[in-house]
């Protein structure tokens, strides 16, 4: 597919979300028509008024015409307000649908994609671009469609009244339209550039705010702010450039229209002097000529929004066109629905798609249902990468990961998410109630079940201390705070509720007080009872109850065996690691 046709298809797929229903569209058409026609009816009344006043008509007659004029003006404004209201409603409905699709799509993309794009950038793309599109939809209906219709109406009427002035106006509009179309091409890249700089700024800001603790602790605040200042400055200049072009276009139209109006006025005066038209008709022509100016001004004003929207639509389309690199199985196979799951990692090699550097080589591990494995090794040795493959966040580049006898590439993705559960060390607490934090927004089971799980993991007293029990809002600016230990226990409670057959645990490396550590260890033991488990251990002491140990170094398994055998052999790496760490065997 060529880039142009690809762009056209992604754009039309974005616009499909914005299309209103037939009834809403019909009401909108009527309202836009009224917004156009009503102002067109006013100048003939002015012409009548002037001619009848010169002809000596009664005051009553003139007041009636004036009242008619006033009614038309009010009705025109009401129609415009109605169109604005309808267009805003439709734009919000459409863009909310688009936001929903985009957010769902973005959440489903590979971890590799999210690794390359910061959350701030994603927010700007899911929301900022969509807002630009929504604003344009409203402006398009109000200013562009209604404006062009008004322009056409004016031309038809002026032609009917005086073909010479009509001809002049037509030539003038064609020239002005052509000049604007040319100018528009000039402005598109600068608007797209301004939006891209904006997204980069927000991406950086989000990252700095997320890492505020680290930045402050390391005294890097000044440098972080300096980088933000640079990003803000680039954004400012990009906006400045795009604004300068917009202002230049606007100023150009003002000058051109002032000259055009002067010529039209001269033509009307000449027509009246030569007796071809009445004074009233000259006023009428002058009014219509003035009317042309407003839609043209609005059109050029919309040009910038149009460019922002066009850039937004293109970027939204590009995001929607990003496909998962993890292929969906053609014939998805279910995983065993209950009980602990067997795990076998067979000759696995792996490189992250971004840099292609080999991080795992020939990794072979196996766990019978219900067995637990401790992964140990230096930082950067590849433990987390193995865990990611077991969770099918990536596919291995060589070999296979089988769970319950099924290659994860062939397994039903829904079953993988249901039966394999991750407990990570960075526990995300959402600004939501305890219930949603436990179920991750799934429909919750009965409160009794949630309370039992919290008591089981040792959070009974914590729950009792919360002001609104399960309804208490956690996290966020106004929510109840959660300590690191409580967050870990909440993560374990989540895993209990999900009731998986295989648990992959990245043990918390942050320091916890000994009492909390013991509570967590007890909960982990309970969680792993009757389940298969893979634990990335940062403290060797917490591996006292695992069945097997794999020592990873440089992406390879350098030692693998049953824990009791490795502990009993003083020459084993694991035994030496225990001795070095001062942990009793």
Ligand X SMILES: Nc1ncnc2c1ncn2[C@@H]1O[C@H](COP(=O)(O)OP(=O)(O)OP(=O)(O)O)[C@@H](O)[C@H]1O
Binding site for ligand X (CB under 6 A): 115, 352, 354-355, 359, 377, 379-385
Residue with tokens 């803000």: 232
State in angstroms the smallest separation of the CB of 515 from ligand X.
25
Q: How far apart are CA 528 and CA 526, in angstroms?
A: 5
Residue placing its CB nearer to ligand X in the complex, 124 or 506? 506
Nearest residue to ligand X by CB is: 384
Residue placing its CB nearer to ligand X in the complex, 398 or 412? 398
DSSP string for residues in 555-579: TEEEEEEEHHHHHH-TTSHHHHHHH
Residue placing its CB nearer to ligand X in the complex, 347 or 380? 380
Is the CB of residue 401 less than 8 Å from the CB of residue 326?
A: no
Residue placing its CB nearer to ligand X in the complex, 315 or 383? 383
State in angstroms the smallest separation of the CB of 415 from ligand X.
25
For residue 360, list its beta bridge partners: 350
Residue placing its CB nearer to ligand X in the complex, 115 or 347? 115
11 to 104, 106, 312, 317, 350: CA distances (angstroms): 18, 18, 10, 6, 36
State in angstroms the smallest separation of the CB of 140 from ligand X.
41
For residue 367, list its beta bridge partners: 343
Query: In Å, how far from its chain's centre is CA 199?
Result: 11
Neighbours of 97 (CB within 10 A): 15
Is the CB of residue 463 less than 8 Å from the CB of residue 470?
A: yes
For residue 480, list its beta bridge partners: 474
State in angstroms the smallest separation of the CB of 216 from ligand X.
23
The candidate with the shortest Cα–Cα distance to 300, out of 176, 158, 421, is 176
State in angstroms the smallest separation of the CB of 490 from ligand X.
21
Written as six digits, the tokens of 580 are 């070095």
For residue 562, list its beta bridge partners: 548
Residue placing its CB nearer to ligand X in the complex, 46 or 424? 424
The candidate with the shortest Cα–Cα distance to 557, out of 423, 290, 364, is 364
State in angstroms the smallest separation of the CB of 447 from ligand X.
37
Residue placing its CB nearer to ligand X in the complex, 91 or 543? 543
State in angstroms the smallest separation of the CB of 327 from ligand X.
19
Residue with tokens 């099924």: 406
State in angstroms the smallest separation of the CB of 214 from ligand X.
15
Q: How far apart are CA 289 and CA 396, in angstroms?
A: 70
Residue placing its CB nearer to ligand X in the complex, 131 or 484? 484
State in angstroms the smallest separation of the CB of 354 from ligand X.
5
Is the CB of residue 406 less than 8 Å from the CB of residue 421?
A: no
Number of helices and strands in the chain (H, E): 20, 10
State in angstroms the smallest separation of the CB of 401 from ligand X.
15
Q: How far apart are CA 575 and CA 519, in angstroms?
A: 26
Residue placing its CB nearer to ligand X in the complex, 299 or 375? 375
For residue 344, list its beta bridge partners: 366, 402
Residue placing its CB nearer to ligand X in the complex, 115 or 405? 115
The candidate with the shortest Cα–Cα distance to 373, out of 510, 499, 559, 583, is 559
């Amino acid at each position: 597919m060529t880039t142009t046709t690809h762009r056209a298809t992604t754009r039309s797929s974005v616009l499909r979300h914005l299309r209103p229903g037939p009834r809403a569209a019909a009401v909108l058409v009527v309202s836009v028509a009224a917004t156009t026609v009503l102002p067109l009816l006013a100048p003939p009344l002015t012409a009548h008024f002037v001619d009848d006043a010169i002809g000596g008509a009664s005051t009553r007659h003139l007041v009636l015409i004036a009242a008619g004029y006033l009614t038309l003006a009010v009705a025109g404004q009401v129609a415009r307000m109605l169109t604005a209201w309808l267009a805003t409603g439709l734009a919000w409905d459409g863009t909310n649908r688009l936001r929903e699709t985009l957010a769902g799509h973005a959440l489903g993309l590979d971890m590799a994609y999210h690794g390359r794009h910061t959350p701030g950038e994603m927010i700007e793309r899911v929301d900022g671009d969509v807002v630009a599109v929504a604003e344009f939809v409203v402006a398009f209906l109000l200013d562009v469609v209604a404006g062009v219709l008004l322009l056409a109406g004016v031309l038809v009427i002026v032609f009917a009244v005086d073909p010479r002035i009509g001809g002049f106006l037509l030539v003038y509009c064609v020239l002005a339209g052509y000049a604007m179309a040319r100018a528009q091409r000039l402005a598109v890249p600068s608007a797209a550039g301004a939006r891209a700089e904006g997204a980069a700024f927000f991406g950086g800001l989000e990252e700095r705010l997320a890492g505020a603790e680290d930045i402050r602790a390391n005294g890097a605040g000044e440098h972080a702010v300096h980088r933000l200042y640079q990003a803000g400055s680039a954004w400012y200049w990009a906006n400045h450039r795009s604004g300068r072009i917009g202002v230049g276009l606007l100023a150009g139209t003002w000058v051109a229209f002032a000259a055009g109006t002067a010529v039209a006025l001269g033509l009307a005066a000449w027509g009246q002097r030569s007796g071809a038209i009445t004074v009233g008709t000259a006023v009428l022509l002058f009014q219509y000529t003035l009317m042309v100016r407003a839609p043209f001004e609005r059109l050029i004003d919309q040009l910038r929004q149009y460019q922002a929207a066009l850039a937004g639509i293109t970027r939204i389309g590009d995001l929607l066109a990003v496909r998962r690199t993890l292929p969906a199985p053609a014939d998805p196979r279910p995983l065993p629905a209950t009980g602990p799951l067997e795990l076998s990692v067979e000759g696995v090699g792996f490189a992250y798609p971004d840099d292609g550097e080999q991080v795992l080589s020939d990794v072979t591990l196996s766990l019978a249902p219900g067995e637990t494995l401790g992964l140990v090794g230096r930082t950067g040795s590849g433990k987390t990468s193995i865990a990611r493959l077991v969770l099918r966040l990536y596919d291995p580049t060589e070999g296979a990961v089988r769970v319950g006898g099924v290659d994860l590439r062939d397994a039903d993705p829904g079953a993988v998410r249901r039966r394999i559960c991750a407990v990570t060390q960075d526990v995300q607490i959402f600004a939501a109630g305890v219930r949603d934090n436990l179920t991750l927004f799934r429909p919750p089971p009965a409160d009794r079940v949630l309370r039992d799980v919290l008591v089981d993991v040792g959070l009974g007293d914590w729950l009792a201390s919360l002001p609104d029990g399960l309804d208490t809002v956690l996290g966020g600016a106004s929510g109840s705070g959660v300590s690191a230990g409580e967050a870990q226990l909440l993560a374990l409670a989540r895993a209990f509720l999900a009731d998986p057959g295989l648990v992959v645990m990245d043990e918390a490396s942050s320091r916890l007080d000994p009492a909390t550590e013991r509570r967590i260890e007890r909960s982990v033991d309970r969680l792993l009872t009757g389940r298969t488990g893979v634990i990335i251990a940062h403290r060797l002491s917490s591996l006292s109850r695992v069945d097997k140990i794999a020592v990873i170094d440089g992406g390879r398994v350098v030692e693998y065996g049953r824990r009791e055998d490795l502990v009993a052999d003083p020459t084993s790496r694991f035994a030496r690691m225990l001795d070095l760490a001062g942990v009793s065997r």
